[in-house]
Chains A and B, each alone.
Chain A
């Protein structure tokens, strides 16, 4: 079994691939993610309805079409832009590449994701799997080859999700078992933000094996998952087991408030090799005050408990505004903060200014400017870094 625990703790997520999640869909009053995503709590593969909505609501149009001008989704929304599939079969893919440009350093080309998604739906039963190729920093999601630590490797076979589920109550309830996203917080596209990394709920890399039950109702949605561990990590002592859950309630049209909670235990943590209980508990908020604008917020309390050591306490928080300048062109401003409870002299803060342009059917061009001031333990000084990230994304 591979020991890539160190890479788990040190993985720098800026080079990983966003997982196609759009919590700002709140502006269209879509609370339920299950209508557009195969995962009932959102992110990842789109359903046929989601593919159509991606053309109707996501793709760049110079102006919002009137009902008279509204067109059926382009045939290009089909798999591989042209292929009709039988109703029971849903195939798609996620390919993303780009460049990371740290100010003052060399430009680093990125191969971020090359995943294929497959879902078979027969009556109430759903079977879903993904497979792909990863280059660097995909450790927690990689199957082969065994590498990490002193055995570096570049290309790895990646399997982020594989699960089977059954739906009940007119698809409002889904029970699943397998490897899946952890239900916690906002499933924001920028999965490398601190709210995702500090809670280890990154939709790109932090899937876990477990059993879950989800609910999507008219005003309430939520999911609870029993975490059995990430079996693509080893040895077993590092696997975290416990639960993760979230619930979100619609206070009014386009106003949603949520709570999340996660507690895990592991026999060893990657840093100190000590048994660890990890807590993350928080709240989320989504609000669209006016149609082009969506406000998203998340705040989490974090705690780490280890025998013989003082409990570490921390937080991770995010506020984001997504403004749709015109259909398909989003300007996004985000502020984030975190404290990891490791004796830093204060919290770290970050700001993102981003533009996402859904220029063609299932094609996204995105630019992020990320400024982060990282606070460290004394005597190390705090540092400020600026990174530009350019991405081209095809979601087949």
Chain B
């Protein structure tokens, strides 16, 4: 009797673990995605958007950023960025796809951080990318932060240049969002 109960409990626990492992990740609350670029003589540019979504098919997590809302603080620059360089009408989204086993999901009250690999797509071109991440679990809500170096020439984006100021093609992309499993 006792052995049967223990066996049942073990089976139920295993099932729960399995179901937890494949529980879909969904975004909870606001997220933000940004990029930072630099140019000559201390020039810097930062673009931000809150249009961040997270999808999970059980095998990989996909972070989807809508580029139509990306803003740099100067309207004309936004217009140039969207129309001339990112061509958002043709390529409205940037995505980062990361296999579930690439990151460690911490227990409640703990954090995990490390280096992981994924596929980053922007301007219709997909490239492998290595990124740093940090995940903090607070009561089942995961605060996720990631940062990756990207060369936008690798993605077929023309090097922005305006009135003698040319942005260097090596930029940093960052994303922060909260998510829950299940």
**Chain A positions near chain B (C-beta within 8 angstroms):** 28-29, 31-32, 34-35, 40, 47-49, 51-52, 56-57, 64-73, 87, 167, 170-172, 216-218, 221, 253, 291
Contacts and interface: CB of A to CB of B under 8 A. Distances in A.
Contacts of A73: 76
B125 to A, nearest CB: 23
Interface in B126-168: 162-165, 168
A28 B74 contact: yes
Interface residues of B, number: 21
Contact of A67 (B78, B162, B164, B165): B78
B79 interface: yes
Interface stretch (B10-18, B38-46, B53-61, B103-111): B38-46
Contacts of B76: 56, 65, 67, 70-73
Contacts of B43: 32, 35
B6 interface: no
Contacts of B79: 67-68, 70
B59 to A, nearest CB: 37
B42 A34 contact: yes
B42 A172 contact: yes
Interface in B7-38: 38
Contacts of A68: 79
Nearest to A250: B44
B75 A87 contact: no
Contact of A32 (B44, B71, B74, B78): B44
Contacts of A35: 39-43, 165
B41 A216 contact: yes
B82 A172 contact: no
Contact of A69 (B42, B71, B75, B164): B75
Nearest to B36: A218
A34 B162 contact: no
B114 interface: no
Given A31-B44, A48-B163, A218-B38, 20 more contacts: A32-B41, A34-B41, A35-B39, A35-B40, A35-B41, A35-B165, A48-B164, A49-B162, A49-B163, A56-B76, A66-B75, A67-B79, A67-B82, A73-B76, A167-B41, A170-B41, A170-B168, A171-B41, A172-B40, A216-B42
